[in-house]
Amino acid sequence: MDFKLFLFLCSVTVIPLGLILKFSPWELPQIQYFFLGLLFVIRIVFYREEEFKKNLKPAAKSALQKKIGRVPSDPETIDYIDKKVAGRNVAFFVVIVLTLVVSIFA
């Protein structure tokens, strides 16, 4: 899981939602849908998968070269990039679940 992305998404969605639901003097029915929509917009606008893969390729090669001590092959690089993308997707999924949990129990 991508922890920097996870912390960013939690600070933008889960924490404000919890604070609003806990301390807001106004009744805001179904505010959790706003935050889920915000996550969806962040995912679509800022985290495009193809751009991310293209930008990650040089960093992946250098990280793998440090790790294994030789120039990585293309399948190794692709596997590394796919793991990073999967970690990012897991971070989004966990934040969505946390948003739903906070909206239910707060």
So where are the chain's domains? 3-105
- Token reading at 83: 């793991």
Q: In what helix (H) or strand (E) does residue 24 lie, and over which residues does it extend? A: none
Collapsing DSSP to helix, strand or coil, 39 comes out as helix
The pLDDT score that the predictor gives to residue 97 is 94
Over its length of 106 residues, how does the chain's per-residue pLDDT go in tens digits?
Answer: 778 889 999 999 999 998 988 888 888 788 888 999 999 998 888 888 888 888 888 888 888 888 888 888 888 888 988 998 899 899 999 999 999 999 888 7
pLDDT in the model for residue 59: 87
CA distance 69 to 30: 52
Q: Tell me which residue of 43, 25, 46, 26 sits closest to 99, measured CA to CA.
A: 43
Helices 31-46 and 15-23: crossing angle in degrees, nearest 10, is 160
